[in-house]
Amino acid sequence: MYLGLDEPVRECQYNQICTRNSLPMETLGHKKKKIPRRKWQVFPGRNRFYCNGRVMMARQTGVFYLTLVLIMVTSGLFFAFDCPFLASNLTPAIPVIGGVLFFFVLGMLFRASFSDPGVLPRATPDEAADLERQIGAANGPSGPGYRPPPRTREVVINGQTVKLKYCFTCKIFRPPRASHCSLCDNCVERFDHHCPWVGNCVGKRNYRFFYLFILSLSFLTVFIFAFVITHVILRSNRTGFLSALKDSPASVLEVLVCFFSVWSIVGLSGFHTYLISSNQTTNEDIKGLWSNKRAKDNYNPYSYGNIMTNCCAALCGPLPPSLIDRRGFIQSDTTQPVSHSNGSSMYASTQLHTHMAAATPLLHSNSVMIGGGGPPFPGKSSLVVPCASLAPSQPSLPSMPGLSCAGDMLTLRDPDTHCHHHHFASPEETPSPSGPMPLTLPCAAHMTHGGHIHPAQLYDPASQDSLHEDSVRGLVKLSSV
Amino acid sequence: MLYPTQTHSLQELQQQAAVASKVYVQRDYNSGKICKFQTKFPSELESRVDKQQFEETMQTLNNLYAEAEKIGGKSYLEGCLACMTAYTIFLCMETHYEKVLKKIARFVKEQNEKIYAPLGLLLTDPIERGLRVVEITIFEDRSIGSGR
């Protein structure tokens, strides 16, 4: 019921065993298996799938279990210890309302955690080749110029110019408002943030569930807090404060948990209410993309104009279906891009060989650079380090949910700043250390890695020339396919 | 097989013909985030299909997607009802979007059968490509002996 599926629950009842698979590392391919495999088994992102592809979560799920335990234990204690007193002394409606709220919270949590946030499937090899061809053609012949082909497209939406970025991992031009999550290694539509508390990204398809979860959780927290305090006060009117606490020790724990949660969760709900009413994502708000401080005539092109329409569109608008067919069977003749652990994609089509051959100059030159390049530029390394240090330490964030959500926001910033490295045409976005620095190395690096841990950015000007030539040659080879 | 082969011409195509090349029609983001594909006629198809016909197909496709994503009274009602039933209502009924997607699948199949397969072309339902592109496969006509 909470699985957030497109299929009826009755199918899941037959599934006694939930197959737990981490992402596949082996190649799909020419192996002819008797049992047809499902698409989730060869999904290239860093997600975990349960219940034979019906449930989809991020890789790190520790904090999600903590959330679940906190909610269930606190509510359990409330129903066990405080509700009997309150039901008999005040009204039985209290446990009923509490129960409804509790189940709603759990339902929304499961729906937000288990559903596909709006992951964009990666490009098929033919598509990727076609795009490379187009980019190569748009750039003109590869002359002696050092400017690598721009990987951005500009569109005008509602009067505002929006840049569409090319994702090197997914090999697509990202739709507006989409972003690549470095933790899950997927491009997600209308990417809001990656929430460790929910154990999933928050994107187009599960934003409303996430919002309803935090909203209902704030009501539940306030509800429990208020009624536990009422309970203790009523008891202490009869028997004195200390003996009241002795009679119901659980109340102390509940008050503590609720007190600390209220600030962060209510604050977060308020923040997201503001985001919904102005139709922005957390991503956009942090970057200040649509604020007036950037430019005088800057405005949000996605907003519908008034708060009511924005809210209705976000919460009651049509729910788009999942674009990744998790439970579909792999067709033997369709080619599926599969990621290896090093991030480079292997294709089962014949174009693979030409691609790989073309890509090797880039890979080769990249490894040469890392081995013998100059020291990492201090300005750049400061951008690399936070990402690397934040991402692994996600589960051990401080207990304040507000801070941790700020933590996830920081993480999501870094991939975007990294992705900015690929946008040679926009010097104001890339913090260029010294003058215009053509950034081909990150381009090559991203092609090999695809993950969120980027190699140190090297800016040795002397070896840049050979690198540019290599990369240009590599791209020319790719485009000639 | 991307389509269950039901018509003779589609079957013949997929069994006998070889894929000569693929053309991709990208998304048109100029109208915002709604799903819309570029209606510009790709040059590779000039020899194969009538420009008017192709543009009509693309326009109908765009209209269908606009219908799926339309925000109006009906979608609000559906959304509110779903929220009140904690989204369990979707166990019984399809969302409006899914219904229109089925309609689109039928439309693409029909267009293939009637117009594109006889010309040696095959349109792929965009949902199979993550709503990123409309993939048009150009088949080499072996029987006639003319390549692309």
Instruction: State the pLDDT at residue A228.
Output: 92
Instruction: State the pLDDT at residue A410.
Output: 39
Instruction: State the pLDDT at residue A379.
Output: 40
Q: What is the mean pLDDT of residues A368-378?
A: 41
The beta-carbon contacts of A395-401 under 8 Å, at least 24 apart in sequence, are A395/A60, A395/A62, A395/A63, A395/A196, A397/A63, A397/A196, A399/A260, A400/A260, A400/A264, A401/A197, A401/A261, A401/A264, A401/A265, A401/A268
Q: Is the CB of residue A316 less than 8 Å away from at least one CB of chain B?
A: yes
Q: Are A39 and A116 in contact (CB under 8 A)?
A: no
Q: What is the mean pLDDT of residues A153-169?
A: 85
A contact test, residue of B1, B14, B29, B88 with most A CBs within 10 A: B29
Q: Is the CB of residue B17 less than 8 Å away from at least one CB of chain A?
A: no
pLDDT tens track for A179-199: 999 999 999 999 999 999 999
A31: pLDDT strictly greater than 90: no
Instruction: State the pLDDT at residue A78.
Output: 92
Q: What is the mean pLDDT of residues A175-181?
A: 90
Per-window interface: A 170-229 vs B, CB < 8 A: 172-173, 175-177, 190, 209, 212
Q: Are A283 and A193 in contact (CB under 8 A)?
A: yes
- β-bridge mates for residue A376, sequence order: A458
Q: Are A327 and A52 in contact (CB under 8 A)?
A: yes
Spatial CA neighbour of A416 closest among A307, A282, A308: A282
Residues 6+ apart with CB under 8 A from A313: A279, A304, B71
Q: What residues in B contact A126, CB-CB < 8 Å?
A: 22, 24, 135
Q: What is the mean pLDDT of residues B141-147?
A: 50
Q: Is the CB of residue A350 less than 8 Å away from at least one CB of chain B?
A: no
Instruction: State the pLDDT at residue A145.
Output: 55
pLDDT tens track for A218-243: 999 999 999 999 999 988 888 888 88
Averaged pLDDT of chain A = 70
**Is A51 annotated as catalytic?**
no
A434: pLDDT strictly greater than 60: no
Q: Is the CB of residue A155 less than 8 Å away from at least one CB of chain B?
A: yes
Instruction: State the pLDDT at residue A64.
Output: 94
A158: pLDDT strictly greater than 50: yes
Q: What is the mean pLDDT of residues A305-309?
A: 85
pLDDT tens track for B51-108: 888 899 999 999 999 888 887 778 888 888 887 887 777 778 888 888 889 999 999 9
Instruction: State the pLDDT at residue A148.
Output: 57
pLDDT tens track for A83-122: 888 888 889 899 999 999 999 999 999 999 999 999 999 8
Which residue in chain B is spatially nearest to A189 when comparing CA positions? B33
pLDDT confidence of A451, banded at 50, 70, 90? very low
Q: How far is B130 from chain A (nearest CA, A)?
A: 5
Instruction: State the pLDDT at residue A103.
Output: 93
Q: What is the mean pLDDT of residues A434-447?
A: 40
Check residues A115 and A431 and name the one with the higher pLDDT.
Answer: A115
Spatial CA neighbour of A468 closest among A32, A43, A147, A45: A147
Q: What is the mean pLDDT of residues A195-207?
A: 92
Check residues A335 and B27 and name the one with the higher pLDDT.
Answer: B27
Name the residue with tokens 């890789």.
A59
Which listed residue (A184, A195, A405, A419) is catalytic? A195
How far is Cα A433 from Cα A428, in angstroms, rounded to an integer? Answer: 11
Q: Which of A121, A316, A319 sits opposite B80 (nearest CB)?
A: A316
Q: What is the mean pLDDT of residues A13-21?
A: 52
Instruction: State the pLDDT at residue A212.
Output: 93
Instruction: State the pLDDT at residue A150.
Output: 62
Check residues B79 and A203 and name the one with the higher pLDDT.
Answer: A203
Instruction: Report CB contact under 8 Å: B30, A212.
Output: no
Per-window interface: B 76-135 vs A, CB < 8 A: 76, 78-80, 82-83, 86-88, 90-91, 95-98, 101, 127-133, 135
pTM: 0.68
- β-bridge mates for residue A218, sequence order: none
Per-window interface: A 95-114 vs B, CB < 8 A: 103-104, 107-108, 111
Instruction: State the pLDDT at residue A317.
Output: 80
**What is the ipTM for the molecules in this complex?**
0.80
A210: pLDDT strictly greater than 90: yes
Residues 6+ apart with CB under 8 A from A51: A3, A12, A15, A18, A19
Q: What residues in A contact B91, CB-CB < 8 Å?
A: 1, 8-9
Q: How far is B144 from chain A (nearest CA, A)?
A: 25
Structure tokens at B138: 């150009």
Q: How far is A238 from chain B (nearest CA, A)?
A: 41
Q: What is the mean pLDDT of residues A414-435?
A: 40
Taken as a whole, chain B contains a residue count of 148
A269: pLDDT strictly greater than 90: yes
Lowest-confidence pick of A112-116, A301-305, B5-9: B5-9
Instruction: Report CB contact under 8 Å: A318, B22.
Output: no
Instruction: Report CB contact under 8 Å: B33, A318.
Output: no
Instruction: State the pLDDT at residue A333.
Output: 53
Alpha-carbon distances, residue A76 vs A73, A198, B73 (angstroms)? 5, 20, 40
C-alpha of B23 from chain center? 13
pLDDT confidence of A431, banded at 50, 70, 90? very low
A contact test, residue of B37, B125, B132 with most A CBs within 10 A: B132
- Pick from A84-88, A345-349, A436-440, B73-77 the range whose average pLDDT is largest: A84-88
